[in-house]
Structure 1
């Protein structure tokens, strides 16, 4: 039997648990779960984790801890991202998680987050020798990486995640034309470094990781009367099909969006502003397909563990110096 490990990704919107068994240079998923904790709800724009959000977080982390204990897993890596790293009470929240649950949470910066996302996307098999723009739309931040299957050329994290855009630009339902116009203007300003990086490196492909891209894949496959395969970790959506889906998403209210086949309820709010962000990026990257990786940060942590496992026995998670 191989060595088991667990990764907890404490995102701004969703908490993920991935439990795996290492198998040589690969891994087998023992169990995975995602829960819409909405840690940043109501507080992210004020740089605070609200009491109700904290209550949801502890309820979910207790559940995850019980599952990990049930599998007798001792190698656990827990990561917290934008909502925690920017909250004035983030450090006390992390300390409370350790005191109550014994989970050592690594609050990572945007650069480290982008690094793990890249490693996860690479592990999925979504990359080639061609220069590719990768993106992961979180609730608090959005990570962009330009690189290929061999290395990273450029990466940057922007604190403009789905919850932040939702709070600032999506007051009406469906989103008002004026709100969309202000959102596009905001993105044009905030993503100036990305615009320059794209001009410098000229990526020919676009890969989106997890979250919104999982939902877009589900919607697209439902339209094709198709479905996902358990072991498949990368999918493709024609850009023309994405644009059709995005046009539908921005024109409908929440109740109507929930009726779209393939819609994941936990994504129904943020998917509108996230789709606008993808549209903005597609204006800068000429490609016929939007590639979607089901692997992201948590699989990036597994990729690092696999590398460590080849060097030590038993393997140990180690934080970078």
Structure 2
């Protein structure tokens, strides 16, 4: 069965089109994304602005054309943090359904965490050790503690890059005092995670797509001198390598970041908050290293659809 999966994130809208076979196997035909910045000018007030609405509509129109071109038999679309938190999301969902016959299902943070886990475990081979999975979004960040037997703990926090960016409005480059303010806020908001880590100590941080793809791409380009292969399902990042990236992201201007080899332009603003968040999580969890997972929510959805079919 040919399936189209749309992930409507706060910063980007993603589409995955694949042919599913028996069990969990699938062949990816298309995997692309577009910057939407759905939460811009309204993420913390719970509203999709007119400009964001227009950008989002245009991207869904493009995705609808792709779905027709690839002749998908089934299409599923999931709205995450920005959509589930917007007071006018019903109007957006209704217009998309009416104009493109795409039914958007708004999922909870816990459902989002489930799909992320199912996606990541296909790209990263787990052992009996505990892993901390982190997906940094624009509106929310999902954190999951898991091993090869399943999930032990999960939660979703309204601490995404776009949300923190609007809340703290950093300088260019961000000032040390601002970094300290963000870190203090994270310490307060992530107390449930601190308790979970006491109960379930972890050895590795698994970064799900997004900002972690950008970290990996920059490191890989430094090492090899050419772009990272899209065929890689995961990439190991040492703590020392991340520290170099963190320093780079928090000391450069947005203009300088745009010309870094391997850097993804659509993350030019949110990457600063993502880096601060990652740095805090590394200190809190005391992991030995980072594993970047190319797979995330979309692949998790696909795996569950493959099983159910």
Is the partner of 2:138 in helix, strand or coil? coil
Is the partner of 1:279 in helix, strand or coil? helix
What is the number of residues matched between the two proteins? 307
- Matches of 1:224 and 1:68, distance apart in 2: 37
**1:232 paired residue number:** 232
Q: Residue 83 in 1 paired to residue 77 in 2? A: no
Question: Deviation of residue 126 (structure 1)?
Answer: 4.3
Q: Residue 260 in 1 paired to residue 260 in 2? A: yes
TM-score by length of 2: 0.97
Q: How does 1:97-246 map to 2 (within 5 A)?
A: 97-225=96-224, 227-246=227-246
- Matches of 1:248 and 1:171, distance apart in 2: 15
- Matches of 1:230 and 1:162, distance apart in 2: 24
Question: Deviation of residue 205 (structure 1)?
Answer: 1.1
Question: Deviation of residue 287 (structure 1)?
Answer: 2.8
Please identify runs of 4+ aligned residues in structure 1 that moved more than 3 A. Answer: none
Is the partner of 2:263 in helix, strand or coil? coil
CA contact (8 A) 2:236 2:291 kept: yes
CA contact (8 A) 1:126 1:293 kept: no
Question: Deviation of residue 71 (structure 1)?
Answer: 1.2
**1:308 paired residue number:** 308
Q: Residue 271 in 1 paired to residue 271 in 2? A: yes
- Matches of 2:292 and 2:170, distance apart in 1: 29
For the aligned residue pairs, the C-alpha RMSD in angstroms reads: 1.1
- Matches of 1:150 and 1:96, distance apart in 2: 42
TM-score by length of 1: 0.93
Question: Deviation of residue 127 (structure 1)?
Answer: 2.6
CA contact (8 A) 1:121 1:127 kept: no
- Matches of 2:39 and 2:238, distance apart in 1: 32
Question: Deviation of residue 167 (structure 1)?
Answer: 1.0
**2:69 paired residue number:** 70
CA-to-partner distance for each residue in 1:119-139, whole Å, 9 max, x for gaps?
Answer: 010121343321100000000
Q: Structure 1: where are the runs of 5+ without partners?
A: 310-321
Q: Which of 18, 21, 24 matches 1:20?
A: 18
- Matches of 1:126 and 1:196, distance apart in 2: 26
Q: Structure 2: where are the runs of 5+ without partners?
A: none
CA contact (8 A) 1:233 1:295 kept: yes
- Matches of 2:286 and 2:182, distance apart in 1: 22
- Matches of 1:174 and 1:304, distance apart in 2: 42
